[in-house]
Amino acid sequence: MNSLVNTLRMVGSLEHALDGHLMDKPAIFSALSAVYWPTRSTFPPLVSLGCFSCPDNGDTNSMIDGATAWAISWDKPLNRHRYWVAEQATNYSFQGWAMTDHAWADRLVSEDDASNCDQSVNATVKLITKDNVVAILGAMNSPCALAMVPLTKRYRTPQFTAGVGTSITQQGSEYVFRIAVGATGQTKELATVAVEKLGHYKISVLYSDDEYGASMANGFKNAMAARGLQLASFESFPRADQDFTGQLAKVKASGATALYSVGAYTASALIAKQAKQLGMNLQLLGDTGNASPKYIELGGDAVEGAVLVEPFTPADPDPRLQAFSKRYRDQYGRDPDGWVAELYDTVEIIHQAVAKSGKIDRQSVRDFAASMKTPGMFKGILGDWSFDASGEAFFPLYKVQIKNGQKTILTR
Amino acid sequence: MDLATASQLVVSGLTIGCVYSLVGLGFALTLTATELVNFAQGEMVMLGAFIGLSLITMTGMPYVMAFLLATLATGLIGVALERGVLRPILDRRAPLLNLLIATLGLSIALQALAIIIWGREPIAYPQIFSTEPIILFGIRAQALNLWILGLGFAAMAALQYFFRFTLTGIAWRAASLDPATAALYGVSRRRNVALTFAISGALGGAAGVLMAPLFFASFGLGHTVIVKAFAAAALGGFGIVGTMLGGLALGVIETLAAGALPSEYKNIITFAILIAVLMFFFRPKQAAGRSITETAKVAIGDAAGFFASRTRRMAVIAALALVWLLLLAFADTYALRVLNMALISAIAVLGLQLVVGLTGQFHSDKRSFVKDRHRVPAGEQHERP
């Protein structure tokens, strides 16, 4: 048993030592290759505690003048809307670039993980090792995005995710960039509008018990605590639950005047409907998770008056944004939402990375994104972008209210 | 928690409990008649929801009519699945495990079909009933809740009447208890099984039409209730009346638990009660006949016999080593990862196989695997009904 443990430790140390250096094809691989396969020029994969390989890292400097490919992928989460949004956004951005003259071809590769994080991880490996992508967009939900982080770190592939879970950018990876305002930023803005603009001091939180829900709920709790305010109630629900009457009974008993529900927009719409059925007249609060038009469609009258924070809204009269929205609407038959704008801008960032560096490789894309430390280096649909050292994005958020089934801007 | 709030929660709990009862009855009927847990029962719920939605939105028919037609449609789908997929497996005298896997496959296939037809996104039912609450003794109830309770209880009452007072229902009960003897009286086992799947499909569809206006129609709708519906059936001892009461009780318990305790304990409380009931008050009896663990036990016995030979052991190890080297040489990272995941799953299944093999029992003559050193293979022990 001791010898087995020692062997495992040795292999594990070897894995750790080589982690991140796979792209450089360390000498040890060449040496072992020479020993075991003298006629082979590349070391074959080693299967022990993990899978080693020396994949093509997508470094195609020599191909800049020819047709080459770089790929973007995303997960296809459980609800069709997010995937469709991501697909349309990226296609939309690709079309924009296709109209300009550049020396490379764009190839979009997509994988469906159905919001299953095991599949997210598998898809990540496939995209990096088989499809040789230079960047990954996804996952679109926090738990799966978190699961992908160790792999994108290992394979040194920039990962741009819309997941807002706090821990995503706290894994020590310099290859993860959050293209949405994280939980801390969103909840701080939401708390500000709820307290200062709407005048609510007794607020309840009802959140789904996953990474996203917990991050947002705790962020909001901290934001309220920073104002010296306590939450009226703080309840969670299993992610798959659909009946919230028990939790809502506690919210009602707490005397709260406002309710912040955190979860998939389906759950938030159900919470709104069931709260109304119970005769509760609460100010509803929401974050980018509820920014989808489906939230209004499913919630109907129950979500009237809800206040949300979101990165983008087609209600902004800015001519540039109106033109963007119109182009999108003409092409896809619906208004763009925050995810569309985030992904659109992200694709633009990647294109700029390629154009300015003159190289199509993962490290160049990563370095460009990491260099966007000051606002103004990149201006997109969402305004001036910047990333901090941990990969957190910063751009202004809209505070919108649902009136007569439409969103109107309260402030930005 | 005051009385008004508790009463409110009870009404909500009864509403969702009604759904659990209907779906649970589908499980109970199928298990009683065929010893099979039908994993596709949740998809009957989903199909009922979507069929009801389509009928209402396309034809504008009243909700009750859509309820009846969707129930009928899912009943027919249940029969079609039994005839088209499960009957051929049964006729080939395949082990029960094959049927289980077949129902799992049906579940996945039906979900995929629903996605193709109706899409991945949840769809809200049209506003059918007034949203103005009906207040009785301080308890707020929506018209929809009352309709769900009314139709749900009506369905359960109709079912109970069918099994107690109709010849077909009585024959079904007889055939479920003792197929061989019932066959002597002219009760066809095949017709019984078809009837079982028709009724369980109809019950699932009915539950779907009832719950979708509350929770939206979506391809994953069935999955949200299937576990608790099975728990409801288990709580009620897989009997008809027991399952009805078990579902209602489960709905009330979990809703009250969510209202009285921290939400994290909601599901813990629900299933802790279920486990307690199963441990101390009830032991589900399987009908005489095949044991679901037979195949596992036979497989383990055969594997043990195969590896008894040293030569075979060495040959298998050498073959595995060769395969490993070939994979190292030719497989890429992704292929190796997929293989790793498959092997991990295989190890998990092997563990389950071992557990099932060691703890299962043969039923025909009640001999245990441990005691019987000269066991007769399963295929020779039991008569195929």
CATH of B3-280 among 1.10.3470, 3.30.870, 1.10.357, 1.10.10: 1.10.3470
What's the average model confidence in pLDDT over B113-126? 90
Check if CATH label 3.40.50.2300 holds for domain A183-310: yes
Please tell me the predicted confidence (pLDDT) of residue B285: 52
pLDDT at A154: 93
Helix or strand holding residue B81 (H, E): helix B63-81
Q: Is the dihedral of CA A86, A88, A90, A92 positive or negative?
A: negative
Question: CA-nearest residue of chain A to B131?
Answer: A277
Surface of A (114-143) touching B: CB under 8 A: 118, 122, 125-126, 129-130
Q: Percentage of residues in chain A with pLDDT exceeding 70?
A: 74
Query: Over 60: is that where the pLDDT of B299 sits?
Result: yes
Q: Does A55 touch chain B (CB under 8 A)?
A: yes
CA–CA distance, B301 with B14 (Å, rounded to integer): 48
Q: What digits encode the pLDDT tens for the residues A378-388?
A: 888 888 889 99
How is chain A split into domains, by residue range?
2-52, 71-181+319-396, 183-310
Percent of chain B residues topping a pLDDT of 90: 29
If you average pLDDT over residues B143-156, what whole number do you get? 87
Residues 202-221 on B with a CB inside 8 Å of A are 214-216, 218, 220
Residues of chain B with CATH 1.10.3470: 3-280
**Quick one: pLDDT at residue B107?**
93
In degrees, rounded to 5, the angle at the alpha carbon of residue A401 between the alpha carbons of residues A397 and A406 is: 110
Q: CA B295 to CA B100: how far, in whole Å?
A: 12
For residue B131, the SS3 value is coil
The interface pTM score, or ipTM, of the predicted complex is 0.73
Highest mean pLDDT among A80-89, A154-163, B252-261, B348-357: A154-163
**pLDDT surpassing 70 at residue A389:** yes
Residue with more model confidence, B325 or A195: A195
Handedness of CA A292, A294, A298, A303 (dihedral sign): positive
The reply to whether A183-310 shares the fold of A71-181+319-396 is: yes
Residue B359: band (very low, low, confident or very high) from pLDDT cuts 50, 70, 90: low
Tokens of A63: 């191909």
Region A308-312: mean pLDDT is 92
Q: Are B155 and B210 in contact (CB under 8 A)?
A: no
Chain B window 39-68: which residues touch A at a Cβ cutoff of 8 Å? none
Residue B334 has its nearest CB partner, among A118, A126, A277, at A126
Q: Mean pLDDT throughout A282-292?
A: 91
Q: Which CATH architecture has domain A71-181+319-396?
A: 3-Layer(aba) Sandwich (3.40)
pLDDT at residue B279, as a whole number: 76
Q: Quickly count: other Cβ atoms within 10 Å of residue A99's Cβ.
A: 6
Flag whether pLDDT at A189 surpasses 60.
yes
Rounded to whole angstroms, how far apart are CA atoms A7 and B199? Answer: 59
> Range with the lowest mean pLDDT among A239-248, A281-290, B294-303?
B294-303
Q: Which residue is listed with tokens 């369980």?
A: B200
**In chain A, % of residues over pLDDT 90:** 42
Is the pLDDT at B369 greater than 50, yes or no? no
- Segment A9-15 shows an average pLDDT of 48
pLDDT surpassing 60 at residue A364 = yes
